[in-house]
Amino acid sequence: MTLYGKVLRVEATPIPGLVVVELPVHGDNRGWFKENWQREKMIAAGLPEFEPVQNNVSFNDVVGTTRGIHAEPWDKFVSVATGRIFGAWVDLRTGPEFGTVFTAQLDPSRAVFVPRGVGNAFQTLEPDTAYIYLVNDHYSPDAVYTFLNLADETVAINWPIPLDRAELSAKDRAHPRLADVAPLPPRKILILGANGQLGRALREVYGAASHVEFAGRYDLDLTTSDIASARRWGEYDVVINAAAYTAVDAAETPEGREAAWATNVTGVSKLAKIAAAKGIIFVHISSDYVFDGTTTRAYKENDPLSPLGVYGQTKAAGDHVVATVPHHYIVRTSWVIGDGSNFVRTMLSLAQRGINPSVVNDQWGRLTSSSDLARAIRHLLETRAPYGTYNVTGSGEPTTWADIARQVFSLAGQDANRVKGISTEEYFASANGSVAPRPRNSALDLSKIESTGYGPVDVDKFLAAYVQSAVGSAGQRPTARIE
């Protein structure tokens, strides 16, 4: 192999994510020099995103020293400081590529990036060989590892030095054959707020997928001080934060203000710090309440935030925090309707009980199906859409709460004229306790999410189907406030 004169280049292999990196080495009569790790140049050349946190060195003085085949739950960048090695890699991840093999020789001018779950093994070809590997998670004896026998007949690695003449550890000799290997599962998805309307919709969207975990408030509380130690965060690829303090009016009280900031800002900040450190994709749910509702058009994702009340202020602050995470999706939505107590179920209950409600007619927006919102989140993740903020609501013309109430009455076979439209001021005139200011215009522009290939459901079609389903279910007595 040629040591000098190479140009930095990243080459793909038959194993997805495993790449060989050709490194420029500069030499003269004094020896040689190379940039062994240069993140900016290497990422630009095609290396996957990689932020190492640990640097390990392995030295072998005897030719034929052989280590492996080990698959760890982190990514690894392996290079040679001195000498030469034969490397063998086997895909031990769950999926159709399980068992795929790639081999290559490495010297100071050639390195390899090994993704999580790909088994790696090395055999020294020269004496006094030292190789270096950078990893993006700290070693832990509690982590999940997968191993394969170096002599497995199925992968049939052609070792330059036969294993019966090589230096092996007793542990490596005892590793299982491929047929007995438990594949390393993919990094997990953690869904917080799993018992809310969106959380329940995400349960339906992801079903019983083994790599998806659901956590309610009592499983992982954002306000606790030990979030960093609550999980082995390196095992997660995605965190979807559907948890929030959403008591809009109560947030205006001293106790509510403290609780809202604790969950929506302090807790989110802790998660954001973890996500940034571990390379986790952070999905965060935002709200129309981050705007003051004074524009005469639908709000775009990059419009300046101008919240009116405490709840909106905490959501806006949370958005700014999440935007600092390298891999993030801020999904902004409004007027979410799903499985649980909500405005539509309240109106349906009133209609069926002969009560004629007064409903505000000067707040404009669109309903959002929690199921549609969950599907949009999965779409962004699976298509790896560009990171950033996306508006997601139902599609169609914006309308008022009073108009929606009339639609519900009509769809339930009731007289829509039983709904009286009143102003926000009239509605809250007799309210006891704190009342949060509401944005008058909550309509969100959907062109960005549509540009990714996702089409939000039509609001009218969703509402008709929702009411029909709710009418057919028994025992529904929602308690949400009419607004």
CA-to-CA distance for 292 and 299, rounded, in angstroms? 10
The pLDDT, as a whole number, for residue 473 is: 60
CA dihedral sign, ordered 201, 204, 207, 208: positive
Three-class DSSP category at 251:
helix
CB distance 248 to 307 below 8 Å? no
Q: Is the pLDDT of residue 482 over 80?
A: no
| Per-chain mean pLDDT for the chain | 92
Report residue 481's pLDDT band, with 50, 70 and 90 as the boundaries.
very low
How many residues in the chain?
483
Report residue 413's pLDDT band, with 50, 70 and 90 as the boundaries.
very high
The pLDDT, as a whole number, for residue 483 is: 29
The pLDDT, as a whole number, for residue 146 is: 93
The set of residues, in sequence order, having a beta carbon less than 8 Å from that of 116 and lying 6+ positions away, is 72, 73, 74, 75, 93, 184, 187
Report residue 230's pLDDT band, with 50, 70 and 90 as the boundaries.
confident
Average of pLDDT values for 256-273?
95
> Model confidence over 400-412: pLDDT tens digits?
999 999 999 999 9
Catalytic residue among 133, 245, 299, 454: 133
Catalytic residue among 70, 284, 328, 379: 70
Q: Is the pLDDT of residue 220 over 90?
A: no
Three-class DSSP category at 250:
helix
The pLDDT, as a whole number, for residue 433 is: 76
Average of pLDDT values for 9-30?
94
pLDDT > 90 in the chain, percent: 81
**Structure-token match 């079609």, residue found:** 461
By CB neighbour count within 10 A (0-12 exposed, 13-18 middle, 19+ buried), where does 155 fall?
buried
Report residue 477's pLDDT band, with 50, 70 and 90 as the boundaries.
very low
Task: Give the closest residue to 58 by CA, choosing from 78, 32, 87, 74.
Answer: 78
Query: Helix axis angle, 459-472 relative to 401-411, nearest 10°?
Result: 50
The pLDDT, as a whole number, for residue 79 is: 96
Average of pLDDT values for 248-267?
95
| Helix segments in 233-389, DSSP class H | 254-261, 268-278, 310-322, 343-352, 370-383
Architecture of domain 188-472 in this structure: 3-Layer(aba) Sandwich (3.40)
Average of pLDDT values for 192-203?
93
CA-to-CA distance for 106 and 65, rounded, in angstroms? 15
Distances (CA, A) of 270 to 74, 236, 273, 331, 443: 22, 15, 5, 19, 30
> Model confidence over 308-332: pLDDT tens digits?
999 999 999 999 999 999 999 999 9
Q: Is the pLDDT of residue 45 over 70?
A: yes
Average of pLDDT values for 230-257?
93
DSSP 267: I
Is 139 considered catalytic here? no
Average of pLDDT values for 270-293?
95
Q: Is the pLDDT of residue 33 over 50?
A: yes
Task: Give the closest residue to 150 by CA, choosing from 142, 162, 141.
Answer: 162
Q: State residue 156 phi and psi, 5-degree precision.
A: 50, 60
Domain ranges within the chain, ordered by starting residue: 9-180, 188-472
Adjacency order of strands within the sheet including 101-106 = 101-106, 85-91, 118-124, 66-71, 146-147
Residue 423, amino acid: S
Task: Give the closest residue to 362 by CA, choosing from 402, 412, 320.
Answer: 402
Task: Give the closest residue to 315 by CA, choosing from 293, 289, 282.
Answer: 289
Least confident of 148-152, 362-366, 466-470: 466-470
Considering only residues 114 and 5, tell me which one the structure prediction assigns the higher pLDDT. Answer: 114
The pLDDT, as a whole number, for residue 474 is: 41
* 9-180 to CATH, choices 2.60.120.10, 1.10.3720.10, 3.30.360.10, 3.40.50.2300: 2.60.120.10
CB distance 419 to 357 below 8 Å? yes
The pLDDT, as a whole number, for residue 1 is: 53
Does the N-terminal peptide bond of residue 330 adopt cis geometry, omega within 30 degrees of 0? no
CA-to-CA distance for 143 and 46, rounded, in angstroms? 29
CB distance 404 to 459 below 8 Å? no
| Helix segments in 228-287, DSSP class H | 254-261, 268-278
The pLDDT, as a whole number, for residue 143 is: 81
Report residue 137's pLDDT band, with 50, 70 and 90 as the boundaries.
confident
> Model confidence over 373-399: pLDDT tens digits?
999 999 999 999 999 999 999 999 999
Average of pLDDT values for 405-431?
92
Average of pLDDT values for 240-248?
94
Q: If you average pLDDT over each of 25-39, 184-198, 357-371, which comes out highest?
A: 357-371
Q: Is the pLDDT of residue 70 over 50?
A: yes
Is 175 considered catalytic here? no
